[in-house]
Structures are given as structure tokens and as C-alpha cells.
Amino acid sequence: MDDVTAAALSKIPIFNGLEPDVLDKIASHAHQNTYKKGKILFIHGDIAEHYYIVKSGHVKLFRETLDGTQTVIDVLSENDIFGHSLLFEDNRYPSSAEIAQTGVIISLPLSDLREEMYKNNDIAVNLLRAITLQLNHKDRELEHRFTQSATQRIGCFLLRQALKDKTGRPVITLPYDKMLLAARLGMQPETFSRALSRLKKKTGMKIEGACIHLDTLDRLSTYTCSSCSVKFPCKDLINKS
Amino acid sequence: MDDVTAAALSKIPIFNGLEPDVLDKIASHAHQNTYKKGKILFIHGDIAEHYYIVKSGHVKLFRETLDGTQTVIDVLSENDIFGHSLLFEDNRYPSSAEIAQTGVIISLPLSDLREEMYKNNDIAVNLLRAITLQLNHKDRELEHRFTQSATQRIGCFLLRQALKDKTGRPVITLPYDKMLLAARLGMQPETFSRALSRLKKKTGMKIEGACIHLDTLDRLSTYTCSSCSVKFPCKDLINKS
DNA sequence: CGAGAAGTTGAGCGGCATCAATTGTAGTGG
DNA sequence: CCACTACAATTGATGCCGCTCAACTTCTCG
């Protein structure tokens, strides 16, 4: 349990442009901690008391049904924030959170955010900006699940990953293991494996473990984006939170 | 193009608890209009200048891919609000809106809301409340699409409709036609038809056009909710926006 | 009453899940 | 350092759910 500096927080979008004293106050109640893979941060239905920022590693948000089936809602990476949408509601987490890859997580009390939001319009507006963005992403997600094939969903993910790394960079690194990626994209590991090798044939990319090499994104994008409502260099889709 | 009274607006959640003068100002820029079925309010990609409130009828929000496939994002009913999540972004509508059933729609300028949001923290907080709710609903939607069968998705919709009408009321009325409902639930009309009759066999309900009679919700809920992460009387799911 | 759309029903098919077997890989302890 | 174990990843066989195409019936409305 280490302390967190205001400077570290100031990089997070929802704390943009805040007065130093506000930032200090928020930072004074923040704690950061290293969690190992497999650690459960909270379970669906728990009373929500904190929201979190991922400093490193990955966090899986998911929900389980009575029969044990697990749906992955999202997988979060560096500087992503989660739990901040529980300002109202009945204050129970709508999903469970598990550390998917060992890393550092900052936890902050929701009560602070709630209090601040009523007093400080900047925070309210920042939150609004973050959450409307998220909402739009969810809509896209829904469209993709519906219109794209498993193979296209992988291609779409790879393209956005490539755009995020560096524009047109021909080396894509899978950010986490394939099982998690498959779950994140709403398919079985077996399907993922088969779909990836189909993509390989169709686009001529070379796969070496977690590294994927390709000469140009063209073949990938024409195959993938044919059944999407957004024209290819879909820059508005690459940033989250 | 008729004028809108402040009293009419005060019923909408995002305008809750506002000062009368603010409400008057907002109302003074609002217009209501009757639109016929099939009318397109805006198209995906248009510059967003208004947000809307449904006073009657139904509105279909959807997106189209290059190959013409249409994904229904949502279907809105009385007192639902849409377009209010475009306060930031590049100000383009992320989906198209079409009148699915003739009705009265109020349109309001987004610029007002944007301006007011910065000045008036109550509005910002109200918006935040509305949009976090929406976000949580989208998560559920995504889960349902993934874990439930087509038949269960219909059952789930019927249950929430029943809860919305009156607790445990054994008569459910389909709010709009079956083609639209099928699209809303992410399936083809043929699949809907078959799934509904399967549901009829499994739960013993009686279907007469848009009216569905059943003695108790028990059989329906046990069949439907077995693959859901929320225990049955899922009251938090019945209200939107 | 007729035209066109909504809704139903049947036949066939394809994508993805499931089950099962095998290989690859990373972490553990002797 | 290597053998052992556990899990990740791949590959094959099979089956089911929902999509597609097509024909037919029912409903709605001018």
C-alpha cells in the first residue's frame, strides 16, 4: 500500500485541468498496490466503495451467470480507469474484476468522487466526457459482435492495436494471452486459434508467438472493415476511458 | 412545430430539480413536432445539433454497414431521451434515427445543453446519472446477446415488459411490431417467430396478436433467467435513460 | 376488395461451440 | 539443470443454433 502523488493522477483524463489543491486532496486518499495475476478485486454484487486506475498489468471485468458461464465485459490496460461509473445506482459493482496480469493498481474512494462531483463542475464534466466516450464504444462493440465474423473481430482488434502503437507500424504485439483475448472478443479459444490462422492465410501476415508482422495494413483492413459502419482509419476507436 | 412548456420538460430525469428560470430558458428553445413512421431524424455521420425527447411513438436508433446490414442500437419510447450523449466528441451522430411509429418528438439544441452543463452543475450531475445508467444497460445488453439464446432473449424482454406494466400482471403487450422487436433483440424475424412459439410451448403462455396472457411469471422466469447474472425480479433493468 | 407488408413455416446451410486428443510452453521443485 | 506438472494453444470431429432463401398465410390500409 503505497501513497500516490498528485502528479501521477494529473495524467488521467478525468482529473484533467483540476486545481492543485483538489488534486492533492484526491491523491491523499489514494493508494497503490501491486496485485498478482488471479487476484479478485471485487465481485459482482459487492457494495462499491472504490474506483480504480490501472498503472500496469491488465484487469479483466466480467460477469458470471448461475450456470457458471463467464462473460468478459472489458479488459483494461495502463491508465484505464474503472468503477467510476458507480456514482449513483445502488452502489453495487455490476461486474467482477480480476487481475489478468500482475501489475500496479491505484484505488480511490468513490465517496470522494461523489462529493467532489457535486461541488466541482470540472470533475462532473470530465466524468461526463469519459463516460459518454465509453458509451459510444459500447455501441460499437455491440455492432461488431453482431455484424462481424469471429475472424473479422480479431482483424479489427489487431488494426486498432497497430494504430495505437504507431501509425501503420507493421509489427503488432498481442497485449495479453490468447485465451483472454478470445474471451474479450466474445469467442472460444479454439475459435480464436482457427480464426487467426484463417486471417493469416487471407492477409499474408506472419505470426511469431505474440508478435505479428505484416508489410502493410491494407489487406487486413479491406478484409476486416467491409462489414463495419466506420471507414478504416477508425482513429476515434483506439482510445478508451 | 409547436412550443414546449417548462412543465412538460420537468418530468424528464435530466431536468430534475432545476431552477424554473433555467427550465424556462431551455423550454424556449425547444420545439415539438409530429413525425410519421419512416421519417429519418438524422443519419449516422451527420453533424449533431439537437438532442431529442420522445413524447409518443417509437424511435429506432440504428447503424448501417457498407454492405447494407442494419444493426439496431436501441428502440426508444415515451419519455426516453436520445442524442444527449453528444456533448463532446466530434459532434457527429454515431447512429441514425428513424421514426418507427408515428409520434411526437421534442427537439432541443445541444449547444444549450453544452453551455448549461458548464455553468450549472445540477445539469451535469443529472446527465451523468442518466448516462451511467445507460452504460450499465449496455453492459447487460452485451451479456444477454452473448449468453442467452434467441428464445431466452425474448423471454427476458417479455418479463421486463411485464414488470414495467404492473408487478406480476399476467398480460403483456408487445410495445411495437415483431419485425422491429426482432431487430431490437438482435435476431431475424423468422427466428423471432420460431423462438416465440417455442417459448409458448415451454411456458404455456397464450398469444393473441400483440397480447400475451400467462397465469404466472414463474415458468417464464425460470426458463429465461437461468443464464443471466441477475436474479429474477430484475427491477434495476426495467427503466431506461 | 386488392396490393403490399407483416408474419409464419419449411428446407438447407454455415459458423461457432463443444468434446476430445495432442503438442507446446512456462513455472516448480528436486 | 532437468524432469515434472499444469496450463496454453492447436487441430480434428461432430452437432446445434440461427441465418438465408423461398413459399405461403394473415393482416392492414388505401
Task: Estimate in Å the CA B232 to C1' C17 gap, whole number.
Answer: 27
Test the A interface: residue of B133, B142, B224, B226 with most A CBs within 10 Å: B142
Phi and psi at A210, nearest 5°, equal: -90, 0
| Closest CA relative to residue B14, chosen from B135, B119, B126, B128 | B126
Q: Are strands B96-101 and B206-208 parallel, antiparallel or unpaired?
A: unpaired
Domains parsed from chain A with CATH numbers: 2-141 (2.60.120.10), 148-237 (1.10.10.10)
- Give how far A172 is from chain B: nearest CA, Å: 26
Mean pLDDT of A196-201: 94
Residue ranges near strand D (C-beta within 7 Å): A 177-179, 189-190, 192-194, 196-197; B 149-151, 186-188, 190-191, 195, 209
Residue partners of B208: CB distance under 8 A and separation at least 6 = none
**Is a pLDDT exceeding 50 seen at residue A241?**
no
pLDDT digits (tens, 9 = 90+) for A84-109: 999 986 689 999 999 999 999 999 99
- Using the beta-carbon criterion (under 8 Å), do A146 and B145 form an inter-chain contact? yes
- Name the nucleotide with the smallest C1'–CA separation from A180: D8
SS3 A194: helix
Contact (Cβ atoms closer than 8 angstroms) between residue A57 and residue A105: yes
- Give how far B195 is from chain A: nearest CA, Å: 18
Strand partners, A121: none
| Closest CA relative to residue A22, chosen from A3, A41, A37, A9 | A9
**Is a pLDDT exceeding 70 seen at residue B15?**
yes
Whole-number pLDDT of residue B29: 95
Is the C-beta of residue A186 closer than 7 Å to nucleic acid chain C? yes
- Name the nucleotide with the smallest C1'–CA separation from A179: D8
Mean pLDDT of A194-201: 95
The length of chain B, given as a count of residues: 241
- Which three cell numbers mark A101? 496480469
Mean pLDDT of B213-217: 87
Taking C1' of C5 and every protein CA, the nearest residue is: B179
Whole-number pLDDT of residue B157: 95
CB atoms within 10 A of CB A215: 11
Mean of per-residue pLDDT scores for chain B = 90
Residue A120 CA to residue A112 CA, distance in Å, equals 11
Count how many Cα atoms sit within 13 Å of the Cα of residue B59 in the half-sphere of its side chain.
27
Task: Strand B70-76: give its sheet, edge to edge.
Answer: B40-42, B96-101, B58-64, B70-76
Residue B64 CA to residue A14 CA, distance in Å, equals 32
- pLDDT-based confidence at B166, cuts 50/70/90? low
Test the B interface: residue of A16, A71, A232, A236 with most B CBs within 10 Å: A71
- Using the beta-carbon criterion (under 8 Å), do B136 and A85 form an inter-chain contact? yes
Contact (Cβ atoms closer than 8 angstroms) between residue B58 and residue B176: yes
Phi and psi at A185, nearest 5°, equal: -90, 5
Contact (Cβ atoms closer than 8 angstroms) between residue B66 and residue B19: no
**Is a pLDDT exceeding 60 seen at residue B165?**
yes
SS3 B158: helix
Residue B28 CA to residue B43 CA, distance in Å, equals 26
Is the C-beta of residue A67 closer than 7 Å to nucleic acid chain C? no
Task: Estimate in Å the CA A36 to C1' D1 gap, whole number.
Answer: 27
Task: Estimate in Å the CA B39 to C1' C13 gap, whole number.
Answer: 37
Residue B74 CA to residue B80 CA, distance in Å, equals 11
**Is a pLDDT exceeding 90 seen at residue A226?**
no
**Is a pLDDT exceeding 90 seen at residue B3?**
no
Nearest to B186 among A65, A117, A146 (CB): A146
Nearest to B125 among A86, A117, A141 (CB): A117
Whole-number pLDDT of residue B241: 40
Residue B70 CA to residue B65 CA, distance in Å, equals 7
Task: Estimate in Å the CA A178 to C1' D1 gap, whole number.
Answer: 30
- Which three cell numbers mark B40? 429519418
- Using the beta-carbon criterion (under 8 Å), do B132 and A86 form an inter-chain contact? yes
Phi and psi at A72, nearest 5°, equal: -85, 120
Task: Estimate in Å the CA B161 to C1' C2 gap, whole number.
Answer: 37
- Using the beta-carbon criterion (under 8 Å), do A228 and B66 form an inter-chain contact? yes
pLDDT digits (tens, 9 = 90+) for A55-82: 999 999 999 988 888 999 999 999 999 9
Nearest to B139 among A73, A186, A226 (CB): A73
| Closest CA relative to residue A51, chosen from A82, A92, A27, A10 | A82
Q: Are strands B40-42 and B96-101 parallel, antiparallel or unpaired?
A: antiparallel
Measured between beta carbons, the chain A residues lying within 8 angstroms of B64 are: 229
- Which three cell numbers mark A213? 508482422
| Closest CA relative to residue B74, chosen from B6, B157, B7, B166 | B157
Task: Estimate in Å the CA A153 to C1' C5 gap, whole number.
Answer: 35
Task: Estimate in Å the CA A14 to C1' D28 gap, whole number.
Answer: 53
Q: How many beta-carbon pairs under 8 angstroms link A with B?
A: 143
SS3 B22: helix
**Residues A58-76 as b or e (16 or more Cβ within 10 Å = b):** bbbbbbbbeeeeebbbbbb
Measured between beta carbons, the chain A residues lying within 8 angstroms of B236 are: 89-90
Is the C-beta of residue A191 closer than 7 Å to nucleic acid chain C? yes
- Give how far A66 is from chain B: nearest CA, Å: 6
Least confident of A164-168, B53-57, B73-77, B112-116: A164-168
SS3 A169: coil
Whole-number pLDDT of residue B149: 96
Residue of A nearest to B114 (CA): A125
- Using the beta-carbon criterion (under 8 Å), do B132 and A88 form an inter-chain contact? yes
